[in-house]
């Protein structure tokens, strides 16, 4: 078991020194977006001040430097998820765009009425709405894997849904509400046994877990840079090379073409075939810096730290009778809860009064909340720079909020 030096890590995140309402910031909204270390900001700054130019366009020094740096960013992602080649790494704006790319580029051509797609009840809207689009436009059947009462997947129900008509299974590796880690390797094996492809939404796993796309054998994987210390506006779609070569481009225009004639066009090589127009070059370079930062600490160490924080906090929350928790014991550092008699939004506002940033609402997972019979939750989510002292202050503030609410109700 490894242990990370949180005090040293926190020095790399200037925003953690900020005060909110006279209180030092405690940032527990990492499932929405993480903070950035100065190393990532410096990488982006250095690009813009020393190397800024468009890629694949010029023969001058700046363009060649920018091209090399951007391509190195693809190679860094390839190593991070253990893809076979960096040609399998496509940069998008975010997880949402990556999933939509597959829905349009794969689904429109490959799927036909009567084909079936399987997702889960716990999906983020980004891994639900694109498949609903295919259902509405092309008559595809969309099935949802049921959940057990603790929020884990009902794998027996999943097995019952699989058939020769199943063409795609698309599931979250980790739930952004429950923190549950889904058994994706088993899910993928069962899907492949009936000839279906599998897309893994890794938006909540890439920041916290060591990923290996060859080991789990997924066909596609999508995740975002901004949840893993990287810049906003940069995401990743991994796809097996043979599948990407078969697929049509999602967007069409500059840099994704090999040749254009009046009669038509032919497409560029991978991954540029799917990266139309001027890319988010600085974002890619910033993502590379974020990956290097995470790898220097160690993904296994990061996960162990977060898991310990989550377990510690959950045990404290269980002692508060007014609090109801959602999700299983084994999870990443995501904790969603409700407080009896107090709306999640009021909990969030009261937390912010003491400088504690949490998330409230449905977290872009309305069907999941409907499954539990609630409209929303409050969510605290941890990352590598959070401390047990911050967890204690979060618990202390929650007890204050509950006590204040009772006092008001009595009056």
Name the residue ranges covered by the structural domains of the chain: 6-30+299-410, 40-296
Band of pLDDT at residue 270, cut at 50, 70 and 90: confident
Going by their DSSP bridges, the two strands 377-381 and 359-361 should be labelled as antiparallel
Q: What is the CATH number of domain 40-296?
A: 3.40.640.10
Tokens encoding 277: 């127009």
Q: Which fold has domain 6-30+299-410?
A: 3.90.1150
Residues 181-200, mean pLDDT to the nearest whole number: 98
Bridge-based pairing of strands 235-239 and 89-92 is: antiparallel
Is 213 within 8 Å of 193 (Cβ atoms)?
no
DSSP E strand boundaries for 230-333: 235-239, 257-261, 264-267, 323-326
Percent of the chain with pLDDT over 90: 85
In this structure, the number of other CB atoms found within 10 A of the CB of residue 81 comes to: 22
**pLDDT tens, 81-100?**
999 999 999 999 999 999 99
Q: What is the pLDDT of residues 328-353, one digit of tens each?
A: 988 999 999 999 999 999 999 999 99
Q: Do 107 and 115 form a contact (C-beta atoms < 8 A)?
A: no
- Which residue in the list 218, 301, 362, 364 is annotated as catalytic? 364
> Residues 6 or more apart from 319 whose CB is under 8 A from it?
none
Q: Is beta strand 23-24 parallel, antiparallel or unpaired with respect to 377-381?
A: unpaired
What mean pLDDT, rounded, does the chain reach? 94
Query: What pLDDT, in 10s, does the model give residues 225-259?
Result: 999 999 999 999 999 999 999 998 887 876 666 66
| List of E strands, 340-376 | 356-357, 359-361
Res 411: pLDDT? 42
Mean pLDDT of 301-322: 96
Q: Is 364 a catalytic residue?
A: yes
Alpha helix (H) residue ranges in 3-94: 6-10, 38-46, 61-81
Per-residue pLDDT at 258: 63
> Once rounded to an integer, what is the mean pLDDT over residues 150-169?
97
Residue 12 has pLDDT above 90, yes or no: yes
């Amino acid at each position: 078991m490894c242990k990370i030096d949180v005090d040293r890590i926190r020095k790399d995140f200037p925003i953690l020194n900020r005060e909110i309402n006279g209180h030092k910031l405690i940032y527990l909204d990492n499932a929405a977006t993480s903070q950035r270390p100065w190393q990532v900001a410096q990488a982006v700054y250095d690009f813009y001040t020393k190397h800024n130019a468009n890629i694949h366009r010029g023969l001058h020094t700046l363009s060649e430097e920018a091209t090399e740096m951007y391509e190195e960013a693809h190679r860094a992602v390839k190593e991070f998820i253990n893809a076979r080649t960096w040609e399998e790494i496509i940069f998008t704006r975010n997880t949402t765009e990556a999933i939509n790319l597959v829905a349009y580029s794969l689904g429109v051509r490959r799927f036909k009425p009567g084909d079936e797609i399987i997702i889960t009840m716990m999906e983020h809207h980004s891994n639900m709405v694109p498949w609903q689009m295919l259902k509405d436009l092309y008559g595809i059947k969309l099935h949802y894997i049921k959940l057990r009462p603790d929020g884990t997947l009902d794998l027996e129900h999943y097995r019952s849904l699989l058939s020769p008509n199943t063409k795609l299974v698309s599931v979250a590796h980790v739930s952004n509400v429950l923190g549950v880690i889904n058994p994706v390797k088993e899910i993928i094996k069962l899907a492949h046994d009936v000839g279906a492809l599998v897309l893994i939404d890794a938006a909540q796993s890439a920041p916290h877990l060591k990923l290996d796309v060859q080991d789990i054998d997924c066909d596609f994987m999508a995740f975002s840079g901004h949840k893993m210390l990287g810049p906003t506006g940069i995401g990743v779609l991994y796809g097996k090379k043979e599948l990407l070569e078969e697929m049509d481009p999602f967007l069409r225009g500059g840099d994704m073409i090999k040749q254009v004639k009046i009669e038509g066009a032919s497409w560029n090589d991978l991954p540029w075939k799917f990266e139309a127009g001027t890319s988010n070059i600085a974002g890619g370079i910033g993502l590379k810096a974020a990956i290097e930062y995470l790898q220097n600490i160690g993904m296994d160490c990061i996960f162990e730290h977060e898991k310990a924080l989550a377990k510690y906090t959950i045990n404290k929350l269980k002692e508060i009778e007014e609090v109801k928790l959602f999700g299983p014991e084994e999870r990443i550092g995501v904790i969603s809860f409700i407080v009896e008699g107090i709306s999640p939004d009021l909990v969030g506002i009261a937390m912010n009064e003491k400088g504690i940033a949490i998330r409230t609402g449905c977290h872009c997972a309305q069907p999941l909340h409907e499954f539990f019979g609630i409209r929303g939750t409050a969510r605290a989510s941890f990352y590598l720079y959070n401390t047990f002292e911050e967890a204690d202050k979060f618990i202390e503030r929650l007890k204050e909020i509950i006590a204040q609410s009772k006092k008001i109700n009595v009056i």
